[in-house]
Amino acid sequence: MLKKIIISCILSLIAYSSSSQKFIPDLGLKTLNGESIRSVEAINQNGFTIISFWATWCIPCINELDAINEVISVWSEKEDITVLAISTDDSRSKKRVKPLINGKDWVFDVISDTNQDFKRAMGVVGIPHTIVTYKSEIIHRRIGYTPGEEEDLFDVISNHKK
């Protein structure tokens, strides 16, 4: 009997976790200038948002953001796309974010998640972790990055039924 209860609880937990996180939660975030912004305000409510969780010490994260930066202007001519780079640098490493950004020509917004509240709310455990949304609905997730995978993001976007 106890075994059945435990199995039932495990199956319920799996079902709950797979069905949760279909939409972006409404949480407070900070811009690099210290301005407060709501997560639901930061995403594109009329189109797609590519959310990339990254950190200054994560080379694959930076490589992915550089690759997205190279193609986002072309993609944006075909689809309504916003890119949000969510820095997960903690209080010890957040001082490296602005110098790194200043050395890049990234054309998208960088948001600070120093306490990693948004990261936890989104169920992100490893970085780079990239999420694609249509309006506020999550339509795709990917952990990790290999050069060329940025094209997969545009495939997800262009194949999404609106």
Q: What is the CATH number of the domain that holds 105?
A: 3.40.30.10
For residue 148, being part of any structural domain is answered with: yes
Residue 57 lies in a domain: yes
Which domain, by its residues, includes 104?
23-159
Query: How large is the greatest C-alpha to C-alpha distance in the chain, in angstroms?
Result: 62
Q: Are 127 and 53 in contact (CB under 8 A)?
A: yes
pLDDT digits (tens, 9 = 90+) for 142-162: 999 999 999 999 999 999 976
Please count the structural domains in the chain: 1
| CA-to-CA separations, 124 to 21, 36, 127, 141, in angstroms, rounded | 11, 22, 8, 10
Look at residue 12 and tell me if it is in a domain: no
Establish if 80 belongs to a structural domain.
Answer: yes
Where are the alpha helices (H) located in 53-149, listed in sequence order?
59-78, 97-102, 117-121
Interval 31-90: pLDDT, tens: 888 899 999 999 999 999 999 999 999 999 999 999 999 999 999 999 999 999 999 998
Q: Is residue 30 part of a domain?
A: yes
